[in-house]
Amino acid sequence: MKISRRKFVVAAPLAAGMLVQMNSVASAQFAIAGSPDAAVAPFSWDSFYPYLTTSFTFRDAADMPVEMRLMQMTDNRTPQTAAEGECFSLIFTGPANQPLKHGVYTIEHFALGTMSLLVTQGVTRKSVIRYEAIINRMTPIQKNTVRR
Protein backbone atom coordinates (compact mmCIF):
# COMPACT_ATOMS: atom_id res chain seq x y z
CA MET A 1 0.00 0.00 0.00
CA LYS A 2 1.42 3.35 -1.05
CA ILE A 3 0.93 6.42 1.06
CA SER A 4 1.96 9.93 0.11
CA ARG A 5 4.37 11.89 2.25
CA ARG A 6 1.65 14.45 2.95
CA LYS A 7 -0.76 11.77 4.22
CA PHE A 8 2.01 10.25 6.32
CA VAL A 9 2.88 13.62 7.90
CA VAL A 10 -0.80 14.16 8.73
CA ALA A 11 -1.37 10.61 10.01
CA ALA A 12 1.85 10.13 12.02
CA PRO A 13 0.93 12.46 14.92
CA LEU A 14 -2.51 10.83 15.14
CA ALA A 15 -0.96 7.37 15.27
CA ALA A 16 1.53 8.49 17.92
CA GLY A 17 -1.31 9.99 19.94
CA MET A 18 -3.25 6.74 19.72
CA LEU A 19 -0.22 4.80 20.94
CA VAL A 20 0.16 7.13 23.90
CA GLN A 21 -3.55 6.84 24.67
CA MET A 22 -3.46 3.04 24.31
CA ASN A 23 -0.38 2.84 26.52
CA SER A 24 -2.20 4.68 29.26
CA VAL A 25 -5.13 2.31 28.85
CA ALA A 26 -2.92 -0.77 28.79
CA SER A 27 -1.38 0.34 32.06
CA ALA A 28 -4.73 1.07 33.66
CA GLN A 29 -4.61 0.97 37.43
CA PHE A 30 -6.96 0.77 40.34
CA ALA A 31 -6.54 1.42 44.03
CA ILE A 32 -6.68 -1.30 46.63
CA ALA A 33 -7.68 0.17 49.96
CA GLY A 34 -4.86 -0.01 52.49
CA SER A 35 -2.20 -1.04 49.99
CA PRO A 36 1.02 1.01 50.16
CA ASP A 37 1.38 0.88 46.37
CA ALA A 38 -2.31 1.33 45.62
CA ALA A 39 -1.68 3.86 42.86
CA VAL A 40 0.39 1.42 40.82
CA ALA A 41 -1.45 -1.85 41.40
CA PRO A 42 -2.15 -3.43 37.98
CA PHE A 43 -5.32 -5.18 36.97
CA SER A 44 -5.16 -8.94 36.92
CA TRP A 45 -7.43 -11.86 36.11
CA ASP A 46 -7.78 -12.54 39.82
CA SER A 47 -8.89 -9.00 40.57
CA PHE A 48 -11.85 -9.23 38.16
CA TYR A 49 -12.86 -12.90 38.46
CA PRO A 50 -14.66 -12.63 41.83
CA TYR A 51 -16.89 -9.95 40.32
CA LEU A 52 -18.31 -11.88 37.37
CA THR A 53 -22.01 -11.03 36.95
CA THR A 54 -21.71 -7.87 39.07
CA SER A 55 -22.57 -4.36 37.90
CA PHE A 56 -20.06 -1.82 36.64
CA THR A 57 -21.06 1.80 35.99
CA PHE A 58 -19.76 3.28 32.73
CA ARG A 59 -19.95 7.02 32.07
CA ASP A 60 -21.08 7.97 28.56
CA ALA A 61 -20.04 11.09 26.61
CA ALA A 62 -22.66 13.16 28.47
CA ASP A 63 -21.34 11.79 31.81
CA MET A 64 -24.55 9.83 32.25
CA PRO A 65 -24.22 6.50 34.06
CA VAL A 66 -24.75 3.32 32.03
CA GLU A 67 -25.03 0.13 34.06
CA MET A 68 -23.15 -2.82 32.60
CA ARG A 69 -22.69 -6.35 33.87
CA LEU A 70 -19.43 -8.30 33.61
CA MET A 71 -20.70 -11.51 32.02
CA GLN A 72 -17.64 -13.36 30.78
CA MET A 73 -13.86 -13.52 31.03
CA THR A 74 -11.68 -15.29 28.48
CA ASP A 75 -8.00 -16.17 28.93
CA ASN A 76 -6.30 -15.21 25.65
CA ARG A 77 -2.83 -16.50 26.51
CA THR A 78 -1.19 -19.21 24.46
CA PRO A 79 1.01 -21.90 26.02
CA GLN A 80 4.01 -20.04 24.58
CA THR A 81 3.08 -16.69 26.15
CA ALA A 82 1.64 -17.87 29.47
CA ALA A 83 4.87 -17.22 31.39
CA GLU A 84 5.26 -13.72 29.93
CA GLY A 85 2.19 -12.16 31.46
CA GLU A 86 -1.57 -11.99 31.24
CA CYS A 87 -3.89 -11.40 28.33
CA PHE A 88 -7.61 -11.72 28.89
CA SER A 89 -10.84 -10.22 27.70
CA LEU A 90 -13.73 -8.89 29.72
CA ILE A 91 -17.20 -9.12 28.19
CA PHE A 92 -19.75 -6.65 29.53
CA THR A 93 -23.42 -6.43 28.59
CA GLY A 94 -25.48 -3.28 28.67
CA PRO A 95 -28.84 -1.91 27.55
CA ALA A 96 -29.39 -1.44 23.81
CA ASN A 97 -31.18 1.85 24.47
CA GLN A 98 -27.95 3.40 25.85
CA PRO A 99 -25.27 2.34 23.33
CA LEU A 100 -21.64 3.30 23.88
CA LYS A 101 -19.22 3.90 21.02
CA HIS A 102 -15.72 2.46 20.81
CA GLY A 103 -13.56 4.47 23.22
CA VAL A 104 -12.01 4.93 26.63
CA TYR A 105 -14.52 5.08 29.47
CA THR A 106 -14.37 5.80 33.15
CA ILE A 107 -15.76 2.77 34.93
CA GLU A 108 -16.81 2.49 38.56
CA HIS A 109 -17.19 -0.67 40.61
CA PHE A 110 -18.13 -1.05 44.26
CA ALA A 111 -15.06 -3.19 45.06
CA LEU A 112 -12.50 -2.38 42.35
CA GLY A 113 -12.95 1.37 42.47
CA THR A 114 -12.64 3.73 39.50
CA MET A 115 -10.69 2.80 36.39
CA SER A 116 -10.42 3.64 32.70
CA LEU A 117 -10.67 0.99 30.00
CA LEU A 118 -10.72 0.96 26.22
CA VAL A 119 -14.02 -0.67 25.30
CA THR A 120 -15.26 -1.85 21.90
CA GLN A 121 -18.87 -2.50 20.99
CA GLY A 122 -19.80 -5.99 19.93
CA VAL A 123 -22.96 -7.83 18.97
CA THR A 124 -26.45 -6.55 19.79
CA ARG A 125 -28.91 -9.27 20.75
CA LYS A 126 -32.48 -8.41 21.60
CA SER A 127 -32.26 -5.55 24.10
CA VAL A 128 -28.61 -6.14 25.11
CA ILE A 129 -25.30 -4.97 23.62
CA ARG A 130 -22.04 -6.80 24.30
CA TYR A 131 -18.85 -4.82 24.90
CA GLU A 132 -15.28 -6.08 25.17
CA ALA A 133 -12.19 -4.79 26.95
CA ILE A 134 -8.78 -6.47 26.63
CA ILE A 135 -6.25 -6.52 29.46
CA ASN A 136 -2.74 -7.33 28.25
CA ARG A 137 0.02 -7.22 30.84
CA MET A 138 3.51 -8.32 29.86
CA THR A 139 4.74 -8.97 33.38
CA PRO A 140 5.55 -12.37 34.83
CA ILE A 141 2.84 -14.14 36.76
CA GLN A 142 2.99 -17.29 38.81
CA LYS A 143 3.42 -20.40 36.68
CA ASN A 144 0.86 -22.34 38.69
CA THR A 145 -1.96 -19.92 37.92
CA VAL A 146 -5.00 -21.88 36.80
CA ARG A 147 -7.77 -20.17 34.82
CA ARG A 148 -11.32 -21.00 35.72
Average pLDDT over residues 13-18: 53
Q: Model confidence at 77, in pLDDT bands (50, 70, 90)?
A: confident
Buried b (16+ CB within 10 A) or exposed e, 52-86: eeeebebbeeeeeebebebeebeeebeeeeeeebb
Which of the two residues, 10 and 116, has the higher pLDDT score?
Answer: 116
Q: Tell me the mean pLDDT in the region 110-122.
A: 91
| pLDDT tens digits for range 16-75 | 554 444 444 444 444 444 443 343 345 788 999 999 999 999 998 788 999 999 999 999
Q: Which residues contact 34 (CB under 8 A, 6 or more apart)?
A: none
3-state secondary structure of 21: helix
| CA terminus-to-terminus distance, the chain | 43
What is the pLDDT at residue 52?
Answer: 97
